[in-house]
């Protein structure tokens, strides 16, 4: 099971965080600080997997953002890398070539897309089309409520 998912910039600014296991605020801040320091310090061509404490860390850089997740020991690192890639694909579909500013100014949509895709640290829906349809329905509902 995925324990957390973090998105941060090359400068170490946290852009999105999702926790699937209960941690105190102090523990969360320590994990965020450690992940940004460890991942940003790694050379560009190094492996995207590493071990940290009792977790496997999987990360991938897309443009100026790092997508990083912590996995429990029995989980598959390649599957986690595919999950990160699928999330980026979903963001790309919605925002049209997603960038850091899209995440900053539309963070609620980024969280909504993540919630439609992942729940409790597990993949909820594998179909990009079904997730996109769900997001479009939510957008339509929001537009109707605004009028």
Q: Could you read off the pLDDT of 16-40 as tens digits, one per residue?
A: 999 999 999 999 999 999 999 999 9
Share of the chain above pLDDT 90, in %: 69
Tokens 């995440």 found at:
103
Quote the CA–CA distance of 71 and 4 in Å, as a whole number.
8
Q: Is residue 123 packed enough to be buried (19+ CB in 10 Å), middle (13-18) or exposed (0-12)? A: middle
Cα separation, 16 vs 36, whole angstroms: 13
Confidence of residue 143 (pLDDT cuts 50, 70, 90): confident
pLDDT tens column, 40-59: 999 988 999 999 999 999 99
Residue with tokens 């071990």: 51
What is the SS3 assignment for 60?
A: strand
Model-level pTM? 0.89
**pLDDT > 70: what percent of the chain?**
98
């Amino acid at each position: 099971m995925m324990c957390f998912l973090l998105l941060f910039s090359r400068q170490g600014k946290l852009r999105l965080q999702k926790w699937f296991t209960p941690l105190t605020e102090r523990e969360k801040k320590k994990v965020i600080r450690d992940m940004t320091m460890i991942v940003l310090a790694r050379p560009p061509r190094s492996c995207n997997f590493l071990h940290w404490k009792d977790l496997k860390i999987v990360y991938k850089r897309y443009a100026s953002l790092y997508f990083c997740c912590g996995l429990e020991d029995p989980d598959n690192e390649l599957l986690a890398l595919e999950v990160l890639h699928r999330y980026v694909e979903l963001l790309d579909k919605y925002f049209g070539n997603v960038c850091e500013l899209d995440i900053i100014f539309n963070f609620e949509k980024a969280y909504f897309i993540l919630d439609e895709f992942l729940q409790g640290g597990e993949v909820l829906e594998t179909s990009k089309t079904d997730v996109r349809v769900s997001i479009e329905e939510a957008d339509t509902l929001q537009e109707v409520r605004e009028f």
